[in-house]
Amino acid sequence: MWAYIDVMLSFTQGTTVRVEFGDATTAADSSGARTISRIFPHTYGQPLAHFLRANAKVPDAQIITDHPAIRVAVVFCGRQSPGGHNVIWGLHNALKIHNRNSTLLGFLGGSEGLFAQKTLEITDDILATYKNQGGFDLLGRTKDQIRTTKQVNDALAACTALKLDGLVVIGGVTSNTDAAQLAETFAEAKCSTKVVGVPVTLNGDLRNQFVETNVGFDTICKVNSQLISNVCTDALSAEKYYYFIRLMGRKASHVALECTLQSHPNMVILGEEVSVSKLTLFDLTKQICDAVQARANQEKYHGVILLPEGLIESIPEVYALLQVTMQKFMVCLAKVFPLTSISSHLSPWASALFEFMPPFIRKQLLLYPESDDSAQLSQIETEKLLAFLVEAEMNKRLKEGTYKGKKFNAICHFFGYQARGSLPSKFDCDYAYVCSGSRLHYLSSLVFIINSFPFSLTMPLCQVLGHICYHILAAGLNGYLATVTNLKHPVNKVALWHVGLELRNLDFVAMMTVKRYGRGVGASSIGKPALHPATCGFERQTIRPVKSLFGLGCRLLKQNATKFLMDDVYRNPGPIQFDGPGVDAKAVTLCVEDQDYMGRIKELQEYLDKVRTIVKPGCSQDVLKAALSAMASVTEILSLMSLQSNIGQTPF
């Protein structure tokens, strides 16, 4: 275990918890607000909760000084992600600081362990070898689904039998959606267990106005960027291979985008760009071949191309094929017909596309689906598919004489499992620790609270989330997600870090949307509200820009795409640093975004307060008329913007 100096934020100093309750949040998807409030009646519309630093002077703040011994359990859900252990460390530390008799349990084997009530009491001795370590091996994980009525009831029974005061769910989009449902179910059943979520996912897709990044994303990108840079150096040395590298990250392309900005490979294909532009397999093949040919004109026969894991689902015809084959696969399981004859049971177009695919891809398309019924993206070798198609096209061009360069040679890699068990970066260590004890987002109504970070400079960031979790439980809050904002600032500038709480059931109201199964304007809202992965903000001039909070990173990529493609400006960030000049390096996509959302909300409230102060009974007619005119104009503009932003699309 490497030497590490804890970075504690000021709000965790001492044993007094100070919380200010603010306004309730609203659903980002206003068209689905009624559905969300109906399905989550107990957890929708909860107030914002702000945890305050010790010297904060807020008249209406609730001061909590009594900390009875409580029983809290934690469960790992979803893919393992660096920093998960530090969340537990921070939570354990916070529990013991406030009452040495408090108990922290861990469910062994993820959600299956929760249902079976298999627990391990977490102590200092047990934690000693897991602090600042990667993986989820302290407790393990399994199928990680808490969705069916039986699963939810089993979780309720476990928490009741174990007399838990709090349940902390560590995971990503799907896991925190499940946590939101648990919070609502527990509230309806009048169960005393409060549910708290922690955003821990290597995919980096649990992001919105309130959640700037996820525990593990920084580490994954740094480890992968070093590996990619090593490959870039190898390509430049041998000058005869094109490397196709697929990166883990599920449906969104955040990991691929961040790694591109860190390591400067020649090309990256973002799933969001493919989806928005409706690029087919033929289009992608031609795009890559044209790039290879342009480089060959400069006597360059090498290159590095990055692909996100979810690219295969972004290609329109392949996505349609996946839906069809998935349906037929389930029929095959019912023994209606053998899997080997599935092609003959497809429609003509689907059968033709299926047979067009190389044999290894056909086999992978028929793998058993994930727990959320999606394709096993990590097992579908998109990089080999594209390398196969590009090689065939380049050989065709060579034969036809339209390409006169050297023979195309490809080498394929999948970077996924190599990084997710890595030692967490210093940023992820700090972030996870604090989140487990200090800040929280409301899961159901998406009520986020941001407070001036009350932790002292002796706690690691990973532990920050752990400490926030305790503060949420101490305040008696249910259905919150632990978060911290202003993360792009240095950790030692405590005043710039804000601890935020957001009250939300399944997903935060600001994050939760109702998935639409129709197309176009007026599509009906069908299905349950859920957190949906945030996508990269790709935009192009010929269409309306994609609605995303995270477009500046894509814009930066677009500005440098030609230089990356042709000039071989490879960059090697080196291995993760725990001391020295590179120790505080943060994700490029985190640093370029301007995300002080709650800071602007507070600024707006200050302006509104000033208006109330100026416009009082007794003010002049001119002041009153000016205020009415201005407010009427602002209200009309905001109403139109809100309406247009929800037509025909969901925000995440």
Name which of 284, 235, 255, 473 is nearest 393 in CA terms: 284
Among residues 154, 184, 199, the one where a domain terminates is 199
CA–CA separation, 219 and 266 (whole Å):
22
Q: CA–CA distance from 631 to each of 302, 514, 600, 609, 627 (Å)?
A: 60, 31, 18, 13, 6
- Whether residue 73 contacts residue 167, with contact meaning beta carbons closer than 8 Å, is answered with yes
Residue range 116-146, pLDDT digits in tens: 999 999 999 999 999 889 999 999 987 678 8
- Are 171 and 249 found together in one domain? no
For residue 386, being part of any structural domain is answered with yes
Residue 438 has pLDDT above 60, yes or no: no
Q: What is the three-class DSSP state of 411?
A: strand
Among residues 144, 178, 199, the one where a domain terminates is 199
Query: pLDDT band at 436, cuts 50/70/90?
Result: low
- Are 173 and 276 found together in one domain? no
Number of independent structural domains in the chain: 3
Name the phi and psi angles at 463, rounded to 5.
-70, -20
Residue range 544-582, pLDDT digits in tens: 333 444 578 888 999 999 999 999 999 999 898 888 888
What's the pLDDT score for residue 463? 63
Name the phi and psi angles at 46, rounded to 5.
-70, 160
- Are 271 and 366 found together in one domain? yes
* 3-state SS record for 462-489: EEEEHHHHHHHHHCCCCCEEEEEECCCC
Query: pLDDT band at 244, cuts 50/70/90?
Result: very high
What's the pLDDT score for residue 532? 77
- Are 403 and 266 found together in one domain? yes
Name the phi and psi angles at 485, rounded to 5.
-120, 175
User: In sequence order, which residues have a C-beta less than 8 Å from that of residue 362 and are 6 or more positions away?
Assistant: 354, 355
- Are 316 and 343 found together in one domain? yes
For residue 503, being part of any structural domain is answered with no
Among residues 555, 576, 595, the one where a domain terminates is 595
For residue 482, being part of any structural domain is answered with no
Name which of 169, 122, 179 is nearest 141 in CA terms: 169
- Are 331 and 236 found together in one domain? yes
For residue 398, being part of any structural domain is answered with yes
Summary mean pLDDT of the chain: 81
Cβ-in-10-Å burial (0-12, 13-18, 19+) of 58 comes to middle
CA–CA separation, 294 and 296 (whole Å):
5
- Are 251 and 364 found together in one domain? yes
For residue 221, being part of any structural domain is answered with no
- Are 188 and 118 found together in one domain? yes
- Are 404 and 552 found together in one domain? yes
CATH number reported for the structural domain that contains residue 143 in this entry: 3.40.50.450
User: In sequence order, which residues have a C-beta less than 8 Å from that of residue 249 and are 6 or more positions away?
Assistant: 202, 203, 204, 205, 255, 256, 308, 309, 310
pTM: 0.85
DSSP string, 85-146: HHHHHHHHHHHHHH-TT-EEEEETTHHHHHHHT-EEE--HHHHTTTTT--SSTTT---S---
Query: pLDDT band at 339, cuts 50/70/90?
Result: low
For residue 185, being part of any structural domain is answered with yes
What's the pLDDT score for residue 333? 53
- Whether residue 86 contacts residue 132, with contact meaning beta carbons closer than 8 Å, is answered with yes
For residue 126, being part of any structural domain is answered with yes
Residue range 144-196, pLDDT digits in tens: 788 889 999 999 999 999 999 999 999 998 898 899 989 999 999 999 999 99
- Are 573 and 628 found together in one domain? no
- Are 615 and 585 found together in one domain? no
Residue range 59-78, pLDDT digits in tens: 788 888 899 999 999 999 98
More confident residue, 537 or 142: 142
The domain in which residue 637 lies consists of 596-652
For residue 473, being part of any structural domain is answered with no
- Are 404 and 553 found together in one domain? yes
